[in-house]
Amino acid sequence: MATDLRDFSRSLPMALMRARERVMREFRPLLAEHDLSEQQWRTLRALAATQAPIEVAEIAERTFLLGPSVSRILGNLESRGLIERQTVATDQRRAAISLSAKGRALVERIAPESESRYADIEQRFGTERLAELYLLLDELALIEETTDRPTTRR
């Protein structure tokens, strides 16, 4: 007798994806207007959120992107004059990345519209429920690793 799978609608990854898709549907057209992919925007935001320049590996971690992806994205953003690199004096391998004036201006141009759409969502969904949702999502993201699960049965 086989174990049944939960119903498809009770798949946690699917539920998370559906919700994310719904939210992104509000933001994608705005990003498209500025020729930005989601990942490029995540990178710009990560840079906008920090005072001090940050290194490539740090960007990868904060944006949930892989090193090579960040590398390519930075190449693109640099060619558009949106970011700047500075080699770290004490370690020539490292690069300190920051928004250029143009990049900061772009983020600031997008911000009001982005915030307005976010406010729409918050208003329709409810401020309290949104706060509760953030709480649950943060806690879910922080649950601990299962200790040592074998990759194959033997």
Q: Which residues bind DNA (CB under 7 A)?
A: 28, 37-40, 55-57, 64-75, 85, 90-95
Helices (H) and strands (E) counted in the chain, each on its own, are 6, 3
Q: Hunting for tokens 């207007």 — which residue is that?
A: 33
Token representation of residue 61? 């971690």
Interface with a second copy in residues 94-133 (CB under 8 A): 107-108, 111-112, 114-115, 117-118, 120-121, 124-125, 129-130, 132-133
Q: How many CB atoms lie within 10 A of CB 45?
A: 16
Q: Give CA–CA dist 150/14, Å, rounded.
A: 25
The amino acid at 119: A
Angle at 115 between CA 70 and CA 60, to 5 degrees: 15
For residue 59, the Cα-to-chain-centroid distance in whole angstroms is 10
> Which position among 51, 148, 152, 154 is part of the footprint of a second copy (CB under 8 A)?
152
Does the footprint of a second copy cover residue 12 (CB under 8 A)? yes
Q: Hunting for tokens 């949702």 — which residue is that?
A: 133
Token representation of residue 33? 């207007």
Residue 142, binding choice from DNA, a second copy, none, Cβ under 5 to 8 Å by partner class: a second copy
Residue 55, binding choice from DNA, a second copy, none, Cβ under 5 to 8 Å by partner class: DNA
From 41-49, 53-61, 74-82, 89-97, span contacting a second copy (CB under 8 A): 41-49
- Give residues in contact with a second copy (CB under 8 A): 2-8, 10-24, 26-27, 29, 33, 38, 42, 45-46, 48-49, 62, 64, 107-108, 111-112, 114-115, 117-118, 120-121, 124-125, 129-130, 132-134, 136-144, 146, 149, 151-152
